[in-house]
């Protein structure tokens, strides 16, 4: 069940497409929605601000705190307008980094909803996404930065490769799968040969026992990257949601993603739920 959702709040005047999407998810599942704005404490930022005089640090601190307060206020207005059970807060990263703070916070929720990093922005947003995926132990739902229009969960594409990450993602996505009108389990053969016609049938039978309307499609990569085939198939069939396992590991505060996972996070064509 999805009853407790976290969404990160964009600072300043950044469009709140992920917040709007999160509000729809919360309303769909009658869930409580928590919005968190993160602020980096300049006093703990190390060499980045060592050169700056006190007046510059004070101005910067006021600026980021004001942006967080503005994001919090916009979130509260949205939730009040939608009649949602919600709360909001500002978390200041002191002894830990912002990505680690997000990962710790996300462990207390059923689902964390994040905006996809804008390709024109800095890598800091990507690091936050990676931290939530690899460090929280909870599923994340990534909302494309171009997301607009009505939010639907009618057509869900499930990526299945038999791995424990894929199995975890399916279990975490079950509330979405049950309310979908159509669920397509997709397997991708990477060896250039015709795929095994039975691939994906076992997990499809499992989903059917949960009253999920499901069909299986086995596709061949034909030399393309798996992530590209998944994205192409999702776009061609107008998928409202992609469900897949996330691959990677965290080591010594460095987050390392698998190639297909990173490709999907950077270039997804639909909201994407990932677990690992």
Residues 57 and 120 in one domain: yes
Boundary residue ending a domain (76, 111, 143): 143
Domain that holds residue 204: 155-275
Q: Is the Cβ–Cβ distance between 240 and 183 less than 8 Å?
A: no
Torsion of CA 135, 140, 146, 148, to 10 degrees: -150
Within a domain: residue 149?
Answer: no
The pairing of strands 155-159 and 272-275 is unpaired
68 within a domain of the structure (yes/no): yes
CATH number of the domain enclosing 179: 3.40.50.620
The per-residue pLDDT for range 251-262, each reduced to its tens digit, is: 544 555 556 666
Residues 113 and 174 in one domain: no
- Residue 156 near residue 183 (C-beta atoms within 8 A): yes
**Residue with token string 């804008």:** 118
Relative to beta strand 182-189, strand 155-159 is: parallel
Tens digits of residue pLDDT in 163-214: 899 999 999 999 999 999 999 999 987 765 555 657 789 999 999 999 999 9
- Assign 3-class secondary structure to the chain: CCCEEEEECCCCCCCCHHHHHHHHHHHHHCCEEEEEEEEECHHHCHHHHCCCCHHHHHHHHHHHHHHHHHHHHHHHHHHHHHCCCEEEEEEEECCCCHHHHHHHHHCCCCEEEEECCCCCCCCHHHHHHHHHHHHCCCCEEEECCCCCCCCCCCEEEEECCCCHHHHHHHHHCHHHHHHCCEEEEEEEECCCCCCCCCCCHHHHHHHHCCCCCEEEEEEECCCCCHHHHHHHHHHHCCCCEEEEECCEEEECCEEEECHHHHHHHHHCCCCEEEEC
In this structure, the answer to whether residues 31 and 160 fall within a common structural domain is: no
The residues pairing with 115 across neighbouring beta strands, listed in sequence order, are: 143
- Say if residue 108 is in the same domain as residue 172: no
pLDDT in tens, 61-105: 788 888 889 999 999 999 999 999 999 999 987 656 888 999 999
Number of domains the chain contains: 2
What local confidence, expressed as pLDDT, does residue 230 receive?
86
Using the predicted structure, report yes or no on whether residue 106 has a pLDDT greater than 60: yes
User: 121 and 175 share a domain?
Assistant: no
Percent of the chain, pLDDT > 70?
Answer: 79
Do 80 and 182 belong to one domain?
A: no
In tens, the pLDDT along 224-265 reads: 788 888 888 888 999 999 999 987 655 544 555 556 666 777
Query: Both 103 and 130 in a single domain?
Result: yes
The predicted model scores a pTM of 0.87
């Amino acid at each position: 069940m999805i009853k407790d959702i976290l969404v990160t709040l964009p600072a300043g005047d950044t469009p709140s497409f992920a917040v709007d999407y999160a509000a729809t998810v919360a309303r769909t599942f009658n869930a409580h929605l928590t919005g968190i704005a993160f602020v980096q404490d300049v006093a703990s930022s190390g060499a980045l601000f060592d050169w700056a005089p006190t007046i510059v640090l004070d101005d910067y601190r006021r600026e980021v705190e004001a942006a967080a307060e503005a994001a919090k206020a916009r979130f509260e207005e949205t939730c009040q307008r939608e009649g949602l059970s919600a709360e909001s807060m500002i978390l200041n990263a002191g002894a830990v980094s912002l990505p680690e703070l997000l990962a710790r916070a996300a462990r207390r929720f059923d689902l964390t909803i994040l905006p996809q990093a804008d390709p024109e922005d800095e890598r800091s947003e990507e690091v936050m996404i990676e931290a939530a995926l690899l460090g929280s132990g909870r599923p994340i739902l990534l909302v494309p930065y171009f997301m607009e229009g009505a939010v639907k969960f009618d057509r869900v594409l499930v990526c299945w490769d038999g791995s424990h990450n894929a199995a975890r993602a399916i279990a975490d996505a079950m509330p979405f799968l049950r309310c979908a009108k159509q669920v397509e389990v997709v397997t991708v053969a990477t060896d250039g040969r015709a795929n095994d016609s039975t691939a994906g049938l076992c997990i499809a039978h499992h989903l059917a026992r949960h009253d999920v309307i499901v069909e299986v499609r086995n596709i061949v990569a034909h030399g393309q990257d798996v992530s590209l085939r998944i994205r192409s198939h999702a776009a061609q069939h107008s998928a409202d949601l992609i469900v897949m396992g996330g691959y990677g590991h965290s080591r010594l505060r460095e987050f390392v993603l698998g190639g297909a996972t990173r490709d999907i996070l950077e270039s997804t064509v639909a909201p994407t739920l990932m677990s690992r």
